[in-house]
Structure 1
Amino acid sequence: MDSSAASIPSWLLRHLQQAGEAVPFSHYMDWVLNDPEGGYYGSGAAVIGPGGDFATSPSLGDDFGALLATQLADWLGTLRASGGTLSVVDVGPGEADLSVALAEALPALCAGFADRLELVLVEHNPGMQRRQQARLAGCTTLPVRWSSWEELQRHPVQGVLLAHELLDALPVDRLIWHEQQLRLQTVALNADMRLQLDSVELPDALRSAIASWTAETGCAMPPPGAADGWTSEWHSALPAWMAQASDALSTGWLLVIDYALEAARYYTPRRSEGTLITYRQQRAGADPLTHPGQLDITAHLCIESVIAAAVAGGWSALDQRRQGEALLALGLAQRLHALQALPPTQLSDALQRREALLRLVDPMALGDFRWLLFGRGVGSRFSDPDTPDTPDTAGSALG
């Protein structure tokens, strides 16, 4: 990873100078993503969608949200007898594409109890919240409100919490294997007042957490055969986030949808630079020190780490599935097939929808996202497919 960078914006320079010495990479990542003055999300600089810095499943059209709404309606229906409001909580809603799609689809799917539904958005970045409020200003299908974690913890809801492409943007610690020692990567100013990467000894608390995790999973850190300079991520923010989410929900489900890998594929000698990646103008990069505050920075999740943090936070691990499998079970192939009935005047729209639907299940793209399901006081799992469709058979639905 290139450790040089262009001139440092004044807001970031203030953070670094106030911090004094080198700071853990997680601090730097938090600043450049969430600072309200200059952070990518905090200032509202993020541009999400096919014409922005990166595309998400909901940004490709309404089909993703409509299919997911089918699953949510099934779960919410099991809580009908409980009485009270049923909440769908979108945590880190981005451009609110998913929230809008759910608000449009859920009332019809929840006939008989739609008047008990509400949509709650949790967004701690003021720049993004302003854009979400503008996007949902005219929503009349569901009551919509914004809430903080603290408010939800004081007044927990029942329903479903959604973390869609959220946890991959939580600040991560970076671990580096150097001179036969596992160390913590840091970011600092060099003599030329530019950013550079360095490392320090692991703090005792982090060393202990890693030791406990490796003992529980049997996954060595670093993996055998790792070369000097081997680098990877450690998701230090996950336990606190999972505990907050648990306190915010009295009964219901947490659905995590994100890039994720099993530990054996995550912490491997071959993945010598970890999973950290940047996005700007539809281009992926590997240097998080360039253009601070102007690009997205993400890291894949380790499935075992997510599950361990969730269980420690009070959740039960219920189910997991690849996105392609989940969406096919919810009727994506039928949607593809239905496009054939559209009149010739809608051919352009049909082809665009076809391309978007196939991207959602493409195992080389969004179809490999993981859906990880957790619960509090509930036991439901993902819907099962009626037929053994695969991405290939779905792709042939239009001939």
Structure 2
Amino acid sequence: MQLQLPEPSADALSASRSLQALIADEIQRHSGWISFSRFMELALYAPGLGYYSGGAAKLGKDGDFTTAPEITPLFGQTLAQVVAAVLDQTDAQIIEFGAGTGKLAHDLLRELTTMGVHISAYGIVELSGELRERQQLTLIDFPQAVWLERMPEAFSGLIIGNEVLDAMPVHLVVKAQDGWKERGVGYENGKFVYQDRPCESWMVKQIPHPDILPPGYLTEVHPVATGFMKSVADALCAGYKHSGNGGALMMIDYGFPAHEYYLPQRNQGTLMCHYRHHAHPDPFYFPGLQDITAHVDFTAMARAGLETGLDLLAYMNQAAFLLSAGLGDVLLRTSPVESLHYLPQANAVQKLTSPAEMGELFKVLVMGKNIGLPDSIIRSDRSGRL
């Protein structure tokens, strides 16, 4: 299929070709084959050349995609109502992974300050130099904001990740006539190509009822994301042991529980690429210039947290979470009579909560140690669906 997408600039094209050469060399050094996870890791995070580690704009009208905090400050203001209740049970600090332009951090800090909630530190772990610079400008008025190279070994507070898990490298597996194979990447005649090899048994273990899936079924498995969840859970458990105060993890992303993720009809997986606000399925298109994502298996994420010692506090779609957190009340801070200001915000609420937009596909997973959530959130919990 020939993609009809905007042409990159000469500098961008040069950077992409450098990354292609780096990946091709990696393939050659590994006997002509690397896992798709390794390809995705290099395409997104290769130092200086990967999509997130290079210098191109990622978010907003000049980037490739838009996130909820970019749509409206109502998103962060509403999250702050739950964040405040959580922080009261911790060491009153936040760490955000992959903070984008810093818009969510800005809106949270501003709202929490208005509420009189003290935050000792707002740490940001960011791999993109371009985004870090934008974050530092966005948060210039908030001295609590600090940038971290990695997650601390022990932490009591709230950890937030908005659209973070979907950008973690995935392995591809495909069911052949003679069993499951791992779909990796080779390099032939100057192009990246898919190549299948025998599959390690652990890759299929998180797929419910793999035997009933038809030949040709292609999907993703998520060891990097589950490893991340376990590392964060370790830090929260260590923080509780060290300080006696609780800690929580809030992950917001698009995805499904396992029994919906691995449906027979979802037979080509969920892998998707984003380039200049165009979505398409080809990860080999100009590596380094486009985002590559996969939907999140929230059952696997919850299981990883539980196995490491966290409690499953809540799971629901984004619409239910925001409405339970008071999105309607936050919207009504602007009078409907002031239509010039109210209508754009009402339209943003529609985008955040409509099942046809972000309301159903996006989910919120909250896990923690020695933490209680507001009753309004507990009443909307659907963790039984995991």
**TM-score under structure 2 length normalisation:** 0.86
| 1:139 paired to 2:147 | no
SS in 2 for 1:43: coil
CA distance in 2, matches of 1:361, 1:320: 16
Partner of 1:384: 376
| 1:17 paired to 2:20 | no
Per-residue Cα deviation, 1:352-381 (whole angstroms, up to 9, x for no partner): 211111111111221121111111232x13
- CA deviation after TM superposition for structure 1 residue 221, in Å: 2.0
Partner of 2:58: 47
- CA deviation after TM superposition for structure 1 residue 108, in Å: 2.4
SS in 1 for 2:223: coil
Which residue of 218, 221, 227 corresponds with 2:210?
221
**TM-score under structure 1 length normalisation:** 0.83
Paired AA for residue 131 in structure 1: R
- Distance of aligned partners of 1:331 and 1:51 in 2 relative to their CA distance in 1, 3 Å threshold: farther
- CA deviation after TM superposition for structure 1 residue 341, in Å: 4.3
- CA deviation after TM superposition for structure 1 residue 240, in Å: 1.9
Partner of 1:82: none
Partner of 2:364: 371
CA distance in 1, matches of 2:157, 2:353: 26
Which residue of 322, 325, 333 corresponds with 1:327?
322
CA distance in 1, matches of 2:378, 2:312: 24
CA distance in 2, matches of 1:271, 1:387: 31
Question: Residue 58 of structure 1 contacts residue 65 of structure 1 at CA under 8 Å; is this kept in 2?
Answer: yes
Question: Residue 163 of structure 1 contacts residue 257 of structure 1 at CA under 8 Å; is this kept in 2?
Answer: yes
Partner of 1:279: 274
| 1:107 paired to 2:107 | no
Partner of 1:28: 39
CA distance in 1, matches of 2:97, 2:227: 15
Which residue of 86, 89, 95 corresponds with 2:92?
86
- Distance of aligned partners of 1:199 and 1:382 in 2 relative to their CA distance in 1, 3 Å threshold: farther
Partner of 1:397: none
CA distance in 2, matches of 1:117, 1:383: 26
Paired AA for residue 190 in structure 2: M
Superposed CA RMSD in Å reads 2.6
SS in 2 for 1:37: coil
Paired AA for residue 200 in structure 1: R
Question: Residue 238 of structure 1 contacts residue 309 of structure 1 at CA under 8 Å; is this kept in 2?
Answer: no
* Worse-superposed segment, 168-177 or 49-58: 49-58
SS in 2 for 1:354: helix
Question: Residue 164 of structure 1 contacts residue 256 of structure 1 at CA under 8 Å; is this kept in 2?
Answer: yes
SS in 1 for 2:63: coil
- CA deviation after TM superposition for structure 1 residue 383, in Å: 4.5
Question: Residue 176 of structure 1 contacts residue 185 of structure 1 at CA under 8 Å; is this kept in 2?
Answer: yes
- CA deviation after TM superposition for structure 1 residue 234, in Å: 0.2
| 1:257 paired to 2:252 | yes
Partner of 1:240: 227
CA distance in 1, matches of 2:123, 2:378: 32
- Distance of aligned partners of 1:382 and 1:27 in 2 relative to their CA distance in 1, 3 Å threshold: farther
Question: Residue 262 of structure 1 contacts residue 303 of structure 1 at CA under 8 Å; is this kept in 2?
Answer: yes
- Distance of aligned partners of 1:210 and 1:381 in 2 relative to their CA distance in 1, 3 Å threshold: farther
* Structure 1 unaligned blocks of 5 or more: 80-84, 389-399
Per-residue Cα deviation, 1:248-296 (whole angstroms, up to 9, x for no partner): 3313100011112121211122111101111122221111111211111
* Worse-superposed segment, 362-371 or 309-318: 309-318
- CA deviation after TM superposition for structure 1 residue 342, in Å: 4.9
- Distance of aligned partners of 1:312 and 1:289 in 2 relative to their CA distance in 1, 3 Å threshold: same
Partner of 2:202: 208
Partner of 2:310: 315
* Structure 2 unaligned blocks of 5 or more: 4-12, 240-245, 381-386
Q: How many residues align?
A: 359
CA distance in 1, matches of 2:332, 2:114: 22
Partner of 1:231: 218
Which residue of 195, 206, 209 corresponds with 1:198?
195
- CA deviation after TM superposition for structure 1 residue 130, in Å: 2.6
Partner of 1:394: none
Partner of 1:56: 67
CA distance in 1, matches of 2:288, 2:79: 32
- CA deviation after TM superposition for structure 1 residue 52, in Å: 3.1
Partner of 1:117: 120
SS in 2 for 1:291: coil
Question: Residue 29 of structure 1 contacts residue 297 of structure 1 at CA under 8 Å; is this kept in 2?
Answer: yes
| 1:166 paired to 2:169 | no
CA distance in 2, matches of 1:297, 1:233: 13
Partner of 1:395: none
- CA deviation after TM superposition for structure 1 residue 209, in Å: 5.2
CA distance in 2, matches of 1:254, 1:273: 31
Per-residue Cα deviation, 1:147-183 (whole angstroms, up to 9, x for no partner): 1225x12xx2311000111001100001111223211
